[in-house]
Structure 1
Amino acid sequence: MLPSDLPFEILIIIANLVSLKDKSLCSRICKSWRAPFQESMLKDVVIHTKEELDAICDMSTKNPRIYQKNGQHVRHLFLYENSHPTDQHIQILQQHFPYLQHLHIKGEHFSSTTFGTAVNWNLWSSLRELWIGMETLVTENSEKMFLDIISCLPQLRRLELARHSWYTKMWFTLNDFETLHKNLPRLEHLALGLDMNELTTKDLVRISSTPPVSNLSYFDIDTKIMDYRWIAYFAHKYPKLHTLHWRTDGSGMARMKYQKEAASLFKSIPNAFKYLRTLRMKSERSQDEENLSFWEIFCPSTILVKSIKWQPYIFYDRPDIIERIIKTCMHSFSETLEILSIECLFNLDHPFLIRNAFIHHCPRLVDLNIHHCNASIELDTLLDVFPALGKLRLFGGRISVSPQASEKISISKRQLRSIEVHQATVSSATLEFISSCSRRLDNLHLSSTKVTGSISQKTGRLCIDMSRTRFENLYLGHVRFSTSEDEENEDHNLNLMILARSAVDIMKIKDNNNNPDDPMMLDNDSSNTDSNNNISDSSSSSSGSSSNNSSKETKSNTVKYTWIYTSHEKARNQWWTSNTHKLTKAQANRAHQYFCDFERERYLAMQRGPRSDDKEERTLENWTKHLYHGFTTLKCGYIEKYTIGS
């Protein structure tokens, strides 16, 4: 079959998969391709400015414009805030696009006193999705106006009402929710930014008799003033709910007033949230104890939740609240939870101790994200609790290993594949432990992170042995290496690093030999004492560049060595930025000679007294003045891709 003979149905599928530029080219290839590719080009209309909107709605021209002739093909319309649509604009767009299925409208149109009620919304009864973004809405009786609009849209599957200002006034009662669902029988996805009145005694009695909604699987509520008794209503109303997003603002106190009643009411609902798998909770301007309220309603529970994202409003000095909530959640969800994300709005002053919170074995957890909690993590202890953990992300805090970590290496085969650490501190022992016990690790991302460990007094080397690890991606951005003794002294950095990595992808060899458990070692030296041969090999290998202006990257048998110098300076956000340079062969030779006699060189430096140049800016020009602090060697297996620097 020739391409020109392809049926229209297949061509339209192909057209929807190619870029807009390619659609234009394809529409001119042959006559049979013109209609499907032009139809696909017209499927989405995006209007950013008032000028664009005025041009599309201009009816004064004698020659019909493209949207007047072909508007029946448009299915998606996006009206952004700078387009400033009026009722008249909407009415013209309804004429142009009679079969619209998806409408995204944001801006002042739904903040006016009419709230779009002057438009005949029945003309867009084919809509499947509606997203409305409201600015400051002060219209009286806006709830009725909104419900009148959606009563004309019975085909809606997805409805989102977002507000971008707390001044927006829209209050829903239980009757309003009942009206909404009566008018939208096919609704599957509902997201509302509005407030809810306190439930009356009559409402509470009525909850169990309201007809459940069988189609709704996603519910997102963003509310300022409410009471938690509403949870019982939604548990009854949405029995097939799969995802629940609950966002609250702490300016309303009604929820604390009905705390005990809310918990009792929720537990009286048969099979409440039986199909719930994803739970998101965000609180703003809430009292510390209020963060507990939501979870104490849900727990203890038999709900099979798989994913939790919690964004608490916890004050700087209350890590105990986080620990209590985690214990409460884990008691109910430890057997089913697969993804857990905790993102504090403030960085806690006192460390949040992971070992105090995660006391329940969680065999299915594969993804853990802890953000701004000042978490103190003993990685080996964490992996004991989460044996299936594959991805760990930490923003702020500290990662270390317990004194018993070395005893666990020989008996453990962990599933950890990816670690991301931002603005935190990691011990060198932690990185070595990961490499030894997590053979699947292939991604390490350290950003604005401090790595600490002990250096050899003989050679000045901080050795980090990750030679068992084959990296798909290694990222070290603005990373500072320092000794454990000088951890708090920001001027005592180990600015020089040697990256030692395998020149051969050992995994391919292992696959061929069918022996996946045989570790690849770069050399026999895994301690913090150095071998002169290692430095000698890397600094004098004949495979290195013969030019002093080239980067110093040498090979010794199957190992590549790259010498890297990094200088740091304080940034405005209290962290730091860095400049990274690869040393030339001559510079690497000079460093090699220095560290061959490190004990003597450091003794002489100490005899000269405090170094005034410790406070000066470190650059590639004065790099030799700071060698007496020591250097770092990072030994890895094969690396597919690496980035060191910004």
Structure 2
Amino acid sequence: MASKLPSSILGNIANNLITRDKLQASIVCKSWRTPFQDSLWKEITLTSNSQIAEICDRSNPRHKIYQKNGHLVRRLYSGWYISIKDVQLYILQRSFQNLTHLHIQGDTLTRNDFGREADWGLWKGLEEFEISAPRLGSNNDIEYLFSILSFFPGLKKFTMTESYCHNSEGYSWRHMEIIHELLPKLEELHIDIPLTEISAEDIKLFKTIVLPTRITKLTVAAQNIRFEWIYYFSIKYRNIHTLTWNNSIEKESATYETRSEARALVSEVKTIFPNLKHAYFEGNGSRADSEHLSIRQTLAHAGVFFKSLYYNVRWDFDKPELVEKFFIDCLYYFTSTIENFTLISTNSFRDVCKVPMTIIRCPVLTNLNLILPESFVAFDHLLDQCTSLKNLKLSLREIFISPGASLTPPEHGLKSLFFIEARTTPRLFTYISLRCRRLTSMRLDGLKVIGRIDKDTGTLRLDMSHTKLEFLLLSCIRFYSLPSPPPSSLSHLSQSQSQSQSPPSLSSPAAAVAAAASLSSLSLLSLLALSPLSPQNSKDDETNSEEDAVMINLLAIEQTGHIHSIDFDSKMCIPTSQSAISLLQDNFQVWFHYYLGNTPTGLSGMMQRLDPKQSKYAQTYFRSFQHKNDSGLEPSHITRGDYEWGPKNMWKNDLNRGCAKWYFDSVDRYRVKGFEENIEHDSYTLSTMDTVDY
């Protein structure tokens, strides 16, 4: 049946496959060979001068191969640090005449050899063009650039960058007008070029000679840009729905217009960016923050309210007052409309009082991404403040549940969560299971789960028995067992728990959080800064310190409901057959073991699934487990890696360290992987069932 599929359908399938899969598909049968082999030529990336020689040198054995298949190439990319000579450029144009996408990066085309004799008309079918233009030293340079663009009247996306140079004349608004005249069908524009100043006389001309374009996406990464350009953009690109503003320049000598001057200019436009809904801001230092703030305020005063905001910023560590002001103003104007918010920064926020952000004022926020590797978050308060949240991604230092969290929290509608490179405790997952009953997808990558094993069972219990997932990903998860607390600590813990029902003192951290939770102005980034309430500083019996912990190398996933299908990177057989599922007992366990294995880069952590006999042995061991004070010790002759992994065939030596048991109601599909396994493209369909006796 597969051999009877039309070649057009096979071609569409091939376009969505990676190179390895295309190669495999091309040898399935004769009818598959041509469409899948042809798809291998859709895109070519030039990475070296020797590769260019292969294409352009007729004496090279591979030259004929490129000539034969060149008509299949649709996308051509040139990498950095290569040089294309004029004659080579002409041969490339003749060899790949059906291009639709062309990306020329870096100084591939130099000022001294800028394709003066190349035939750009051979690429007249281009729809997307990226070029690093030569530095403008004379009118001849820009005139030649315009002559190139004149061959691409059907271009839809244009990206132009130029190396910044003090001697460069820069591009004026009149140059931009010529570009748009040459490219009437342009829909997306990216410019990373020096822009000249706009005079007061020129501003008066804008209303009469500047006409709007059909562009819907605009990216500006210009140096020392003035707000006269914002005025120009507001007239020229009034149809955009997505704006990206990138400023990574940190020179203090730049001149900025005051906000009032900027607003006065923009206010002359009757309707500024009426379709603008998505904004992306990137930059370094206080200067970029000041510029972004002015732009946001100017747009807000002009009646522009975003649905999506994306920030990737890095602040000056010696200017904390600017960081504080950034948070205060970040969402102030858009709280009633913002639906998607992303914040990425490597800065650390530790002072509760200095980083307010009023997430509580965003009633329609549904997608939240916080990439703040040095920060903390109280997960329960985050859900309290983001009541409409559906999708959550957190990459933080710690994710924890505050000591004063309710044991019967109100249900939350969160559907998908993704935790990356954070430390936490089993308590977090119990809370998620209790509160987020609609959760269907959970992805955990690089997480460290730290707690105390049960002295009677030898297990670190992660209870999500209320959770029914459609998909679960456990990638590079580490489990740690803490030593038992001294009796005095247990007595103090018991006393603090018995007093938890009475009104807490405001002098305690728990009371501070409880009081703050009752205030409508409690902010999300205040929660991120709650390091005093992170587990290592709270009165919880679990901490997030690995210094005294022992790594647990055994993981058991137990499902009280049903398993439908499982992917496992080591190609082990796990039940997927729907007919076999009905034969499963109420409880089903799958056991995994982390071990020290050989990888292309040396010894590192890998993972194996225990077979039925090994799984039965592990279950029997933990049924009769008796806690010992030396349970974290093992024979001294075992060679372990930096992360306490042992050899693959000596997995039994890890039993005395305990195991992590993860309980779910049901999971339709999940994947578990170790530390050196690639899951970007592999997805195994498994159908053989392993039976386990209980």
TM-score scaled by structure 1? 0.72
Residues 502 and 559, structure 1, Cα contact 8 Å, conserved in 2: yes
Question: 1:429 is matched with which residue?
Answer: 427
| Partner of residue 466, structure 1 | 464
Map residues 46-85 of structure 1 onto 2, 5 A cutoff. 47-54=46-53, 56-57=55-56, 75-81=74-80, 84-85=83-84
Contact 2:150 2:182 in 1 (8 A): yes
Aligned-residue offset at 1:238: 0.4
CA distance in 1 between counterparts of 2:659 and 2:209 reads 70
Q: Identity of counterpart residues, as a percentage?
A: 23
| Equivalent residues of 1:448, 1:480 under 8 A apart | no
Corresponding residue to 2:586 among 555, 558, 578 = 558
- Indicate how the Cα distance of structure 1 residues 47 and 292 shifts in structure 2: closer, same or farther if over 3 A, else same: closer
Residue 333 of structure 2 is matched in structure 1 by 332
Say how many residue pairs are matched: 568
**Does the CA contact (< 8 Å) of 1:132 and 1:162 recur in 2?**
yes
1:240 is displaced (CA, Å) by 0.8
Aligned partner letter, 1:149 = I
Query: Residue 522 of structure 1 corresponds to which residue in structure 2?
Result: none
Alignment of 1:85-100 (within 5 A): 85-96=84-95, 100=99
Match of 1:406 in 2: 406
The residue correspondences of 1:84-483 to structure 2 (distance < 5 A) are: 84-96=83-95, 100-122=99-121, 124-133=123-132, 137=135, 139-140=137-138, 142-163=141-162, 169=168, 171-253=170-252, 257-260=256-259, 261-287=261-287, 290=290, 292-299=293-300, 302-316=303-317, 321=322, 324-344=325-345, 346-348=346-348, 350=350, 356-372=356-372, 374-403=374-403, 405-406=405-406, 409=409, 411-417=410-416, 419-453=417-451, 462-471=460-469, 472-482=471-481
Q: CA separation in 2, counterparts of 1:615 and 1:53?
A: 44
- Any unmatched runs of 5+ in structure 2? 16-21, 483-540, 566-582, 597-602, 633-639, 676-694
Contact 2:216 2:242 in 1 (8 A): yes
> For residues 220 and 27 of structure 1, do their structure 2 counterparts lie closer, same or farther at Cα, with a shift above 3 Å needed?
farther
Which residue type is aligned with residue 311 of structure 1?
A: N
Query: Does 2:636 align with 1:635?
Result: no
Q: Which amino acid aligns with 1:369?
A: N
CA distance in structure 1 between the aligned counterparts of 2:30 and 2:142, rounded to whole angstroms: 49
Aligned residues of 2:272 and 2:302 also touching (Cα < 8 A): no
Q: Which amino acid aligns with 1:297?
A: T
Shift of 1:587: 5.7
Candidates 486, 492, 505, aligned match of 2:562: 505
Is the CA contact (8 Å cut-off) linking 1:143 and 1:170 kept in structure 2? no
Distance 1:145 1:634 in 2: 65
CA distance in 1, matches of 2:37, 2:563: 51
Q: Residue 239 of structure 1: CA displacement?
A: 0.9
Contact 1:76 1:102 in 2 (8 A): yes
- Of stretches 280-289 and 191-200 in structure 1, the one that deviates more from structure 2 is 280-289
| Counterpart residue number, 1:491 | 548
Residue 355 of structure 1 and its aligned partner are, at CA, apart by 9.0
Instruction: State the one-letter code of the partner of 2:446.
Output: S
Structure with more relative contact order (C-alpha pairs < 8 Å, separation 6 or more): 2
How far the C-alpha of 1:334 sits from its partner, in A, is 2.9
The one-letter amino acid paired with 2:400 is S
User: Which digits, 9 at most, give the CA deviation of each residue in 1:603-642, with x for residues without a partner?
Assistant: x999xxxxxxx99984559999999997654322233324
Aligned counterparts of 2:45 and 2:544: Cα–Cα separation in 1: 53
Taking structure 1 as reference, are residues 74 and 371 closer, same or farther at Cα in structure 2, changes over 3 Å only? closer
Question: Is the CA contact (8 Å cut-off) linking 1:352 and 1:374 kept in structure 2?
Answer: no
Q: CA deviation at 1:175?
A: 1.7
Contact preservation (8 Å) 1:493, 1:629? yes
* Amino acid of the structure 2 residue aligned with 1:560: F
SS in 2 for 1:212: coil
2:184 partner letter = P
Deviation, 1:242, is 1.7
Shift of the 463–254 alpha-carbon distance from structure 1 to 2, 3 Å rule, reads same
Secondary structure at 1:469 match in 2: strand
Match of 2:418, SS state, is: strand
Q: In the alignment, residue 215 of structure 1 is paired with which amino acid?
A: R
Q: Is the deviation greater in 429-438 or in 491-500?
A: 491-500
TM-superposed CA distance for 1:275, in Å, is 0.9
Structure 1 range deviating more: 622-631 or 84-93: 622-631
Q: Is the Cα contact below 8 Å between 2:332 and 2:358 reproduced in 1?
A: no
**1:46–1:78 Cα contact (<8 Å) kept:** yes
Structure 1 portions without partners, runs of 5+ = 509-554, 569-575, 607-613
CA apart distance, 1:566: 5.9
- Would the aligned equivalents of 2:478 and 2:551 in 1 still touch at CA under 8 Å? no
Note the C-alpha offset of 1:172. 1.6
Distance 1:251 1:361, change over 3 A: closer
Q: Tell me how far apart the structure 2 counterparts of residues 352 and 481 of structure 1 sit (CA, whole Å).
A: 29
Per-residue displacement from partner, 1:559-608 (whole Å, max 9, x unpaired)?
2345667689xxxxxxx98566767655654555443xx4xx44x999xx
- Partner AA of 1:217 in structure 2: T
Q: Structure 1 counterpart of 2:109, which letter?
A: F
C-alpha distance in 1, partners of 2:149/2:643?
Answer: 64
Name the counterpart of 2:510.
Answer: none
Contact 2:479 2:553 in 1 (8 A): no
The letter for the 2-side match of 1:400 is F
Shift in Å at residue 51 of structure 1? Answer: 4.8
Q: Equivalents in 1 of 2:591, 2:11: separation in Å? A: 51
